[in-house]
Chain A
Amino acid sequence: MTFRPDHELHKRRKGRNIGVGLVLVGFVALVFLLTVVKVERGGSLQGFDHTQRIDMVPQGSNK
């Protein structure tokens, strides 16, 4: 069984697909890392509604 060699167009398209794929994976990883950082620095925020949790707020604070 023989295969015809790839046309130049296929090589270019493959390179472009790999490039776009890597960019997308990088973007997802960056958004994930950003989310982790933002959540970690969120402090006394309730996870699901983004409001302060009373029992986490330091005593004596006005907020």
Chain B
Amino acid sequence: MSDTSFDSQTREASFGDYFALLKPRVMSLVVFTALVGLLVAPGSVHPVEGFAAILFIALGGGASGALNMWWDADIDRIMKRTQSRPIPSGKVGAEEALALGLALSGISVIMLALASNIVAGALLAFTIFFYVVIYSMWLKRSTPQNIVIGGAAGAFPPMIGWAVATGGVSIESIMMFALVFFWTPPHFWALALFMKSDYSEAKVPMLTVTHGRKVTRQQIFGYTLLLAGLAIGTGFTSLGGPVYWAAAVVLNLLFIKGAWTILRRDEEVAEADNYAAEKSFFKLSLLYLFLHFGAILADAVLMRMGVTFGGLL
């Protein structure tokens, strides 16, 4: 074999290229929310089983990321934000991404069911199906509500974590699902307002393109109010404790204030200060989700340590 033949194969992927197919940044949110769901659930899970469960939930999330990149390779080539992904940049073949996604889906679902229980495995299988088939294949290119319904895929992990510990679904896991589900639209639409993205070139019907930026601002405010109601409602379940209540009241007031500011601005004002309010709302949204789940975890830890609200005071 000559050096020339090597040169023709230099597109062979590295380990990191395959890892990038799994969308590691999305995986971090999956791991965090699933871990909180697992840790706050009643009942105990052996640390090894818990570790394995989180690992396989993350792997399932990564598998759906690879399958999403396989399906969306054509539009990823068009949009600047996604052009450096492994498939459009030519590092990994589309069929390789499909094979990796399918293999990891099967491994993660079966291993999660074996390591924990059938309910958790079935929920993970449905999450992958929802993200790949319902969101990527059906909704993403057909409706501006793609982000809203597709957000369910990102909302399942805490529910799966809860199912790992309990073997079922309860009002608490549904509330954690709802928190992520209703958080997704304001989070993404705030990003869409200040990211001059090329969704229209890729023919992806983002709300900012199909209904305009004014409607997007109204929708952000509407979903923020819904989210605030749900976040406060969560406080009335067993997830609510002093830390959660303090965090939820402060964060939701700040979030509503941010959404109200966005609602009252028009494009001229926003462009004049380079979308400062939209950017700060987006940053707050990241903190919002992290602190809500962090507070749920903190209350569960305090309760297990025997620290009660009365005891704190």
Contact = CB atoms under 8 A, between A and B. Distances in A.
A16 B52 contact: no
**Main secondary structure on B side of the interface with A:** helix
Nearest to B51: A30
Interface stretch (A4-12, A42-50, A52-60): A4-12
A37 B46 contact: yes
B49 A34 contact: yes
Interface stretch (B5-13, B172-180, B182-190, B234-242): B5-13
Give the secondary structure class of A's interface: helix
A12 B55 CA distance: 26
B15 A9 contact: no
Contacts of B115: 34
Contact of A9 (B10, B46, B49): B10
B48 A33 contact: yes
A18 B15 CA distance: 9
Nearest to B13: A16
B55 A9 contact: no
B257 to A, nearest CB: 46
B15 A7 contact: no
A35 B15 CA distance: 29
A28 interface: no
Contacts of A15: 14-16
A36 B15 CA distance: 31
B46 A7 contact: no
B12 A13 contact: yes
B14 A7 contact: no
A12 B49 contact: no
B3 A7 contact: yes
Contacts of A12: 12-14
Contacts of A20: 15
Contacts of B10: 8-9
Contacts of A13: 12
Contact of B49 (A8, A16, A19, A37): A37
Interface of A: 7-9, 12-13, 15-16, 18-20, 30, 33-34, 36-37, 41
18 contacts: A9-B10, A9-B12, A12-B12, A12-B14, A13-B12, A15-B15, A16-B13, A16-B14, A16-B15, A18-B15, A19-B15, A30-B48, A30-B51, A30-B55, A33-B48, A34-B115, A37-B46, A37-B49
Query: Which 3 residue pairs across A and B have the least CB separation, nearest first?
Result: A19-B15, A16-B15, A12-B14
